[in-house]
Amino acid sequence: MPLYWLSGDDPLLMQEAADTIRSHFRSAGFLERDVLSVDRSFNWEEFQHLTSNLSLFSEQKIIELRLSSAKLDDQGKKAIQRYLDEPNPDFLILISGPKLDAGTLKTKWFTQIESAGVLMQIWPVKREELHSWLEQRLIREGIQAEPQAISLLADKVEGNLLAAMQEIEKIKLLSNTPDGQTITLDSKTVMQIVADSSRFNAYQLVDAAFLGDTPRSQKMLTALRNEGIFPLVILAAISRELRSLIPMLESAEKGQNIPSIIQAFRVWFNRKNAISSVLGRMNQEKVWELLNHCRLIDQSIKGMNVANPWDELSRLLLLVSARESVSSV
C-alpha cells in the first residue's frame, strides 16, 4: 500500500503504531525518511516536490505528514489525491493526525484515499480496559504486580498512557533489581515510588496548582515544556483532576465537611493537603468554567484555533491556583 493514515488522540498509542509501520518498512529497505509538519501555513508544494523528485538512483523513502488538524484544506486534499493517482513504489506516505470525525470518513475524497491506502483508527484504552493493559505492559517489562498495585497505578495514570509508561520506567529504575530478574510489585512499593519521585510530572504540577502555589506551578510548567513534554499530556492530567473534584464539591455543597469528603473519596495521603486546599476555594460552577477552558486548549493543540497552547496552559494554572477569584474570560 502506498499510504497509511493513522487517526487518534492518544500520543503513546499513535507513536507506537507509527513506530511499528516505520520498523516494518525499514526492514523492507525504506531507509530514508522525511518528516513534514502540516499546519495552516504549510505549503503543499513542498510535499509535491518531495514526491516528484525522481531519479535513476532514488532510495526507498518514508515521507511522513504530521497533521495538526484532522481536516485538510482543499490544497492538501488535491496534493494527496494527485500523488495517489500516480504513486511511486519507492515511497511510503505515512499520515498521522487527530481523530477523524464520522463526517470526514464519509466524504467522497476520503473514501477514495482510503480505498488506495490503509486507515488505522487508534482508539484510547477505556477505563475498564486499563487494568489489563497495565498488567500486560508490566509483564512485558519483567514486572509481576499484585492486583491492588495495578489498581493504584491505574488511578494515577488514567487517561494518560504516556504517564503510565513513565511510571513503569520509574519502577524499573528504582527497583534495584538485576537485569533479567523478575520484579514483584505490591501496592506499598507503588505508593513509595510515587511519593519518592523528585522529577516534575504533570500530576505534581496539578497538585502545586491545587495547593495555590502559583510560582511553583508556573515553574513546573516551564520545566515540562523544556523537557519536550507534549502539551496534551499536561492538559489530560489537569482536566482529569478537575473532573474528579465535581462529585467532591457536590458533597461539600450538601454540607459534608472536607475531612469527611477526603476520607469518603479515598484521597491518597500525599494528596490530602492539595485536595483540601482546592476544595476550600472552588465550587462546581468554577470547575466547569475551567473545564471549558481545557476544551479550548485542546482545540488549540489540535490546530482548531489560533491560541498558543502553552500560554493558555499557563493561564489555566493561574486560574486554578488563584487564592482569590480570577476572571476566566
pLDDT at 124: 86
pLDDT at 180: 57
Do 288 and 220 meet the contact criterion of CB atoms below 8 Å apart? no
Q: Which residues contact 24 (CB under 8 A, 6 or more apart)?
A: none
Query: CA 302, CA 216: separation in Å to the nearest integer?
Result: 27
Q: Count of CB atoms within 10 A of residue 217's CB? A: 23
Summarised one tens digit per residue, pLDDT across range 139-171 is 988 888 888 888 888 877 776 788 788 888 877
pLDDT at 311: 96
pLDDT at 185: 78
Please give the torsion angle defined by the CA atoms of residues 198, 204, 208 and 209, in that order, rounded to the nearest 10 degrees: 160
Q: Which residues contact 150 (CB under 8 A, 6 or more apart)?
A: 131, 134, 135, 138
Nearest alpha-carbon partner for 15 in 118, 105, 119, 122: 122
Alpha-carbon torsion 192, 246, 154, 266, what sign? positive
Summarised one tens digit per residue, pLDDT across range 247-271 is 999 999 999 999 999 988 888 777 8
Residues of the chain with pLDDT under 70: 1, 53-58, 159, 174-182, 191-200, 324-329
Do 99 and 70 meet the contact criterion of CB atoms below 8 Å apart? yes
Do 161 and 12 meet the contact criterion of CB atoms below 8 Å apart? yes
pLDDT at 214: 94
CATH number of 200-329: 1.20.272.10
**Which amino acid would we find at residue 326?**
V
Which fold is adopted by the domain 3-122? Rossmann fold (3.40.50)
pLDDT at 162: 81
Domain positions in the chain: 3-122, 125-199, 200-329
Query: CA 88, CA 44: separation in Å to the nearest integer?
Result: 18
Give pTM, 2 decimals: 0.57
Query: CA 151, CA 134: separation in Å to the nearest integer?
Result: 9
Residue 62: phi, psi to the nearest 5?
Answer: -100, 125
Nearest alpha-carbon partner for 250 in 261, 235, 241, 239: 261
Count how many Cα atoms sit within 13 Å of the Cα of residue 95 in the half-sphere of its side chain.
Answer: 29
Query: CA 101, CA 133: separation in Å to the nearest integer?
Result: 26
pLDDT at 181: 59
C-alpha distances out from residue 320 to 20, 138, 217, 265, 286, Å: 39, 34, 10, 21, 9
Q: Scan for cell 495514570, then name that residue.
A: 157
pLDDT at 27: 92
**Which amino acid would we find at residue 236?**
A
pLDDT at 167: 81
CATH class of 125-199: mainly alpha
Count how many Cα atoms sit within 13 Å of the Cα of residue 204 in the half-sphere of its side chain.
Answer: 16
